Amino acid sequence: MTSLKPYFSISAEPAWWTLLLALFMIPFSMAACSLLFSLLLAVWIVSLLRGESLFPIPPYAFWLLTFAAITLISTMCSRSPLTSLADNRELLVFLLIPVFQKMLCSPRRLRICLSIVLISAVFSALLGIAMAARSGISLDHRLRGLTSHWMTWSGLLMMVFVFFSVWIMQPGETLLRRRGLIAAALLVILTAILLSLTRSMWVGTAVAMILYIVARRPRILLAMTPLMVVIWMLLPHSVSDRIRSVADPSDPTNRDRIHMVYTGWRIFLDHPLTGSGPDTIKLIYSDYRHPDAKQDNPHLHNNFLHILAERGLPAALVLVMFFVSLLLSLLQLRRHGGALQRRTATAALFVGVAFLVSGLFEYNWGDTEIQFLFMFIISLPFVSALSPEAIQCHTGTEA
């Protein structure tokens, strides 16, 4: 009797093509990529039940597991348990880390996945630029591509831009060739990020890239100064005015974020251990809103403040420990890994910095599309394809 194991194996061709399609669809269809990633999770679970090995899990995964456990406790104590329970599906995104670990098991597979992510981002950026050319740029009609929100669209582009910018600026051979084409793609993506008018992503991108350049190639800053002056002069007024508003205390949205700190702190004081419950901020915001706040908000525009209010102090501390563990693990790989591992760890490290900084002004931790891509990127330095020996797939063949 013919064995059915290849059809259930995570390395089977249908699963591989499902992964590629899911990565491509992240900025285009939330429903499609959620379905595709769910299929991958189902196949992975079946493979575990059939006795396939569980690949080594990165050190930071322990904190994600702890965060998930605390979230379930918060759900049981929630102000609206059913609302919180429905929101818990986001925890399944964490399971994609071992899926990526298992599937990206050769340099060729890694190269293909990275190419798909870059191509997808370029298409998404071009779509946004075309929309800007047709309808103009304003805060009343923010660019969002085909995603559900402009924060999602710009956040996805930010992570791709930072990853590949750091990737190609590092010396030595790259897994992806043709740096010129990648640089051209990054120029398109950067243009879209600027046109998005999303300040949190601008700040995250700028801080991550400046830190990398200062740490690795400080002379580039001097060379880039004239270029930055020219770019500033060519920016549309809507973009340059938006940039000026970043540090403007009289800006209404800046004042509203200050009001959110007041609101989040009051919610935390009433629910210090378990929070109000996942996805309940939108339900109780009006009860705690600052007297001068003009509107209610579904979230608190800061990852740590939001988790503190929504899930309590233990969850917020665990989230901090997750990021500490992630950054330390990436730093260790950057120093002691193989050549490809060091390159990928460095790129992922600065994506983590961009994510952290932008997350001080936006709740990107709660954005599922952002989580899909973020979990993919932070998984890359730990996959078997980047070990010094670069082992092949457990089937012995590459896709």
pLDDT averaged over 10-residue windows placed end to end, the chain, 399 residues: 41 82 94 92 86 78 96 96 93 92 84 94 94 79 83 94 92 67 92 89 92 81 69 65 67 81 93 95 90 79 95 97 96 85 93 95 92 95 68 43
SS (H, E, C) the chain: CCCCHHHHCCCCHHHHHHHHHHHHHCCCCHHHHHHHHHHHHHHHHHHHHCCCCCCCCCCCHHHHHHHHHHHHHHHHCCCCHHHHHHHHHHHHHHHHHHHHHHHCCCHHHHHHHHHHHHHHHHHHHHHHHHHHHHHCCECCECCCCCCCCHHHHHHHHHHHHHHHHHHHHCCCCCCCCCHHHHHHHHHHHHHHHHHCCCHHHHHHHHHHHHHHHHHHCCHHHHHHHHHHHHHHHHCCHHHHHHHHHHHCCCCHHHHHHHHHHHHHHHHHHHCCCCCCCCCCHHHHHHHHCCCCCCCCCCCCCCHHHHHHHHHCHHHHHHHHHHHHHHHHHHHHHHHHCCHHHHHHHHHHHHHHHHHHHHCCCCCHHHCHHHHHHHHHHHHHHHCHHHCCCCCCCCCCCCC
pLDDT, position 396: 43
Q: What pLDDT shows up at residue 177? A: 62
Q: Residue 12: what pLDDT?
A: 57
pTM: 0.89
pLDDT of residue 252: 74
pLDDT at site 323: 97
